[in-house]
Every structure is written in structure tokens, then in C-alpha cells.
């Protein structure tokens, strides 16, 4: 393939990567949408809150463990065997896992099925962002990756309405996810490999060696900061939006907030935010200026969330959507991670970085739930505010030390 072949933002690699992430997000968030009916169907009484919490926590933790392990596996494969190897292999794995999830009979089987799915789901975004970043010219790659992430995030909305249209048939929803994956495999046959990767695949240069992130001080700092700048996304979704019904009770008493609906609104807004940020970055000719603007919007939205203004269900849903839009910098965050490392480590970076951020949610929850509420006996509100201050402070410090990669030429190697 000709390395200098030019692809536009509306081209087959971008379209296929966007569809891949759409299916990825559909499958990733489906459990949060079908949780209660699926647990009831496998024999767990919904009136037994402790049993529901134990089973749902176990299943989501196993899925998260799969994401962390899969992020490392697929990242290494992406740099050793090629970006397309990951795009084909990961979707094949999680499509099979989704079909199997449609047949589980107990929490143990459910956990294992989501663990395998998590491994598969971990490879999709990183490989897609890497491929698009390397195929598009540097003046367009920010918009291209934003379209991939923005369109892909609508998969959460699709999952919500699929569950509704199928009369809450959760098993059918998982099977639909598997079928979408198989269809995507067929579409991916026409996608080409990255020319940058093809240029080094037959050389002796080290590729996909994850230890290289830890053997060089400068590279290690870049890697850690690339992870930390993404922390606000999962604080917002995993704490504020996920527990929006509990916060509503503390803020204004009786409410009819459904956390799954709040998540759907937030993800619809995240998708829009992710598309917009590509054009904002293009306008500023800077990734960091665009990210800082979204950080400011995130801070404003968090302040509104905890303010007296948030005193009704309508306002809670609107603020959850605002929080979603303001954290719609997932595309730029992953793109910056890919752009900071050479071709021989790029897929490993772009695949592990977002999954490390996803893996930070249990740590944020430990801080929010266990340390502040159980040990310090702080209220939900105070715990949420202090956690927000800590997360945003860490992200802003990491942001300060992160380089702006807008104009960076990606055709280089890590020595």
C-alpha cells in the first residue's frame, strides 16, 4: 500500500471504525440496561437487594477485568501483527461471547461470558483510532477520530431502545449484539492495513513491547499522564450519572429518576460532544485547547449538579446530558494517546490507555463509597464533591504536563 495515499474523514476506514465502536459501546453498556430483568431471569430475587448488588457487582467487575486484560493483549497484537488483526479478532471474540451471554443460566456463567466479552471489547476503539490516525493526514485525523467515537457512542442509545423495542427481552438483545458483530466482520474485509505499520512489520524493530512504557522515564511519564487526563469521563458516568437517582433523593426527596435513562441521555450528549470536539480542535489547531474548553464545561456542569438549581427530575436529566456533553472528549483523549507514541508502540498505547481509564472506575468508587461514605461517614453529596475535586485536580495536573500533538507527524518509531 502507498503510505501517502490520502483518505478523507468520510472514507471506508472511518466508517467501519465508527460502526465497530457503535457495536462495541452497545455491548459494553448493555448489562447496565438489562441488569435487573436479566438477574431476575437467572434466579436472583430483585427484592433481595444484597443478592442483586453482589451479583451485579461480580458481573460488571469480571467484564472490567476482561477489559483490562484485553487492552494489554490486543494492544500488543496490534503492534506485532497489525491493526486489522485486532479489528477482526476482537470483534469475532466479543460477538461469540454475546451469543453465549444470551444463553446463561446463573450468575457464574453470566460473569464468565462478560469476562470473555470484555477481553474482546477492549480492542475495538484503540485499534480503530490507531488505524484512522495513521491513514488520515494530520490536518484531518482529529475530525476523523471524533466521528469514530461520536457515532460509536450512539450505540448506548441504540442499546436502550433495542431493549425497549424487544419488550425487554434481554437474551435477544445480547444475540442482536452478536449478530451486529458478525455483519461488521463482513464489512471489514475491504479495509486496508496502515501503511506506517506495513513499513515496519518486516523489520527487526521492537513492536508491541509494553515494558518499553516503563523502561524510559520520559515515555513512562507520557503514558501515565495520557491515562490520567481521561479520569473525569468515568467519574461523571460511573458516579454522578450512575447514582443520579440516589443523588436526587438527597437533593430534593421523592423522585422518579431512572439511572439507565440518565445514562442514555448522558451518552447521547457524549456522542454529540465527541463529534463537536474534533471541529473545535481543528478550529484551535490544538488538542489541548479543545480539551481545556471541555474541562471547563465539565467543572461548570459538576457545580450545577451539586447546586440548589438541581431540584427536579427534569433538571437532573438535563444536567446529566450537560455532564455527558462536557465529557465528550473521549475521542481526543484516545487520539492524543495514540499520537504521543511511535508506530511500533502506538496500538499498544491507544488500546491500553482507554482501558486503564475504564479500570480506574473501581478505584474512584472505592474512594467515593468506601473511604468517604463508609469510613468518614460523609454524606453522598459531600463525598461526591470531594471526589470531583480530587479527580479534576489530578486530570488538570496531568493535562499541564501533556504535550499538544495536533501538528505531530506520526511516522516515527520508539527506540
Kindly state whether residue 66 falls inside one of the protein's structural domains: yes
Check which CATH number belongs to the domain holding 137 and give it: 1.20.1250.20
241, 324 in Cβ contact below 8 A?
yes
pLDDT tens digit sequence for 288-330:
999 999 999 999 999 999 999 999 999 999 999 999 999 999 9
Kindly state whether residue 137 falls inside one of the protein's structural domains: yes
Which of 18-22, 164-168, 359-363, 386-390 shows the lowest per-residue confidence on average (mean pLDDT)? 359-363
Claim to verify: residue 22 and residue 117 sit in the same structural domain: yes
Residues 334-348 have a mean pLDDT of: 92
Kindly state whether residue 265 falls inside one of the protein's structural domains: yes
> Given this model, what pLDDT does residue 55 score?
87
Domain that holds residue 243: 231-328+360-402
> Given this model, what pLDDT does residue 188 score?
79
Kindly state whether residue 352 falls inside one of the protein's structural domains: no
Give the residue among 198, 12, 172, 185 at the shortest CA–CA distance from 98: 172
> Given this model, what pLDDT does residue 140 score?
86
pLDDT tens digit sequence for 376-389:
999 999 999 999 99
Percent of the chain, pLDDT > 90? 62
Claim to verify: residue 14 and residue 126 sit in the same structural domain: yes
Q: For residue 3, what pLDDT band results from cuts at 50, 70 and 90?
A: very low
CA dist., res. 162 & res. 280, Å (int): 32
SS3 track for the chain: CCCCCCCCCCCHHHHHHHHHHHHHHHHHHHHHHHHHHHHHHCCCCCCCHHHHHHHHHHHHHHHHHHHHHHHHHHHHHHHHCCHHHHHHHHHHHHHHHHHHHCCCCCHHHHHHHHHHHHHHHCCHHHHHHHHHHHHCCCCCHHHHHHHHHHHHHHHHHHHHHHHHHCCCCHHHHHHHHHHHHHHHHHHHHHCCCCHHHHHHCCCCCCCCCHHHHCCCHHHHHHHHHHHHCCHHHHHHHHHHHCCHHHHHHHHHCCCCCCHHHHHHHHHHHHHHHHHHHHHHHHHHCCHHHHHHHHHHHHHHHHHHHHCCCCCCHHHHHHHHHHHHHHCCCHHHHHHHHHHCCCCCCHHHHHHHHHHHHHCCHHHHHHHHHHHHHHHCCCCHHHHHHHHHHHHHHHHHHHHHCCCCCCCCCCCCCCC
> Given this model, what pLDDT does residue 54 score?
83
Q: Supply the mean pLDDT for the chain.
A: 91
The count of domains in the chain is 2
- pLDDT at residue 4 is higher than 60: no
Give the residue among 32, 79, 31, 34 at the shortest CA–CA distance from 343: 79
Report which of residues 187 and 329 the model is more confident about: 329
Among the candidates 124, 159, 190, a domain finishes at 190
Claim to verify: residue 393 and residue 299 sit in the same structural domain: yes
Phi, psi for 327 (deg, rounded to 5): -100, 20
> Given this model, what pLDDT does residue 2 score?
42
Within 13 Å, how many C-alpha atoms sit on residue 343's CB side? 23
> Given this model, what pLDDT does residue 8 score?
79
Claim to verify: residue 166 and residue 289 sit in the same structural domain: no
Report which of residues 70 and 33 the model is more confident about: 70
Within 8 A by CB and 6+ apart from 305, the residues are 240, 247, 319, 323
pLDDT tens digit sequence for 139-167:
888 899 999 989 998 998 899 899 999 99
> Given this model, what pLDDT does residue 198 score?
81
Claim to verify: residue 172 and residue 31 sit in the same structural domain: yes
- pLDDT at residue 403 is higher than 50: yes
> Given this model, what pLDDT does residue 6 score?
66
CA dist., res. 405 & res. 415, Å (int): 19
Claim to verify: residue 289 and residue 147 sit in the same structural domain: no
Q: How many CB atoms lie within 10 A of CB 132?
A: 29
Claim to verify: residue 176 and residue 44 sit in the same structural domain: yes
Among the candidates 157, 190, 223, a domain finishes at 190
Kindly state whether residue 34 falls inside one of the protein's structural domains: yes
> Given this model, what pLDDT does residue 5 score?
62
Report which of residues 221 and 46 the model is more confident about: 221
- The grid cell for 215 is 523502561
Among the candidates 122, 157, 190, a domain finishes at 190
Claim to verify: residue 170 and residue 248 sit in the same structural domain: no
- pLDDT at residue 190 is higher than 50: yes
Claim to verify: residue 17 and residue 104 sit in the same structural domain: yes
Residues 50-78 have a mean pLDDT of: 88
Kindly state whether residue 240 falls inside one of the protein's structural domains: yes
Kindly state whether residue 223 falls inside one of the protein's structural domains: no
Amino acid at each position: 500500500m502507498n503510505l501517502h495515499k490520502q483518505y478523507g474523514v468520510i472514507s471506508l476506514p472511518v466508517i467501519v471504525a465508527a460502526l465497530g465502536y457503535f457495536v462495541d459501546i452497545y455491548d459494553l453498556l448493555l448489562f447496565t440496561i438489562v441488569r435487573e430483568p436479566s438477574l431476575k431471569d437467572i434466579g436472583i430475587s430483585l427484592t433481595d437487594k444484597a443478592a442483586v448488588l453482589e451479583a451485579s457487582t461480580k458481573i460488571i467487575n469480571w467484564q472490567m477485568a476482561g477489559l483490562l486484560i484485553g487492552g494489554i493483549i490486543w494492544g500488543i497484537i496490534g503492534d506485532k501483527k497489525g491493526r486489522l488483526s485486532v479489528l477482526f479478532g476482537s470483534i469475532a471474540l466479543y460477538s461469540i461471547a454475546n451469543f453465549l451471554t444470551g444463553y446463561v443460566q446463573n450468575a457464574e456463567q453470566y460473569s464468565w461470558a462478560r469476562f470473555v466479552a470484555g477481553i474482546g471489547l477492549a480492542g475495538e476503539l484503540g485499534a480503530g483510532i490507531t488505524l484512522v490516525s495513521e491513514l488520515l493526514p494530520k490536518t484531518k485525523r482529529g475530525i476523523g477520530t471524533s466521528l469514530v467515537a461520536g457515532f460509536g457512542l450512539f450505540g448506548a442509545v441504540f442499546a436502550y431502545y433495542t431493549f425497549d423495542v424487544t419488550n425487554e427481552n434481554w437474551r435477544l438483545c445480547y444475540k442482536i449484539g452478536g449478530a451486529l458483530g458478525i455483519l461488521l466482520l463482513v464489512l471489514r474485509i475491504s479495509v486496508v492495513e496502515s501503511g506506517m505499520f506495513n513499513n515496519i512489520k518486516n523489520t527487526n524493530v521492537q513492536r508491541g513491547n509494553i515494558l518499553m512504557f516503563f523502561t524510559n522515564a520520559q515515555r513512562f511519564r507520557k503514558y501515565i499522564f495520557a491515562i490520567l487526563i481521561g479520569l473525569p469521563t468515568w467519574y461523571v458516568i460511573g458516579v454522578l450519572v450512575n447514582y443520579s437517582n440516589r443523588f436526587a433523593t438527597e437533593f430534593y426527596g421523592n423522585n422518579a429518576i431512572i439511572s439507565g435513562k440518565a445514562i442514555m441521555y448522558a451518552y447521547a450528549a457524549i456522542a454529540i460532544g465527541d463529534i463537536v470536539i474534533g471541529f473545535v480542535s481543528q478550529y484551535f489547531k490544538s488538542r489541548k485547547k479543545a480539551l481545556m474548553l471541555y474541562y471547563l464545561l465539565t467543572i461548570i456542569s459538576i457545580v450545577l449538579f451539586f447546586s440548589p438549581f438541581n431540584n427536579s427530575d427534569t433538571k437532573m436529566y438535563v444536567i446529566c446530558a450537560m455532564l455527558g456533553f462536557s465529557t465528550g472528549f473521549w475521542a481526543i483523549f484516545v487520539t492524543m494517546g495514540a499520537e504521543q507514541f511511535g508506530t511500533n508502540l502506538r496500538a499498544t498505547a491507544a488500546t491500553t490507555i482507554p482501558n486503564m481509564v475504564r479500570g480506574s472506575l473501581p478505584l474512584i468508587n472505592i474512594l467515593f463509597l468506601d473511604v468517604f461514605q463508609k469510613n468518614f461517614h460523609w454524606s453522598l453529596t459531600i463525598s461526591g464533591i470531594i471526589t470531583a475535586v480530587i479527580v479534576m485536580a489530578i486530570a488538570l495536573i496531568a493535562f499541564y504536563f501533556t504535550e499538544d500533538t495536533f501538528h505531530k507527524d506520526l511516522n516515527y518509531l520508539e527506540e
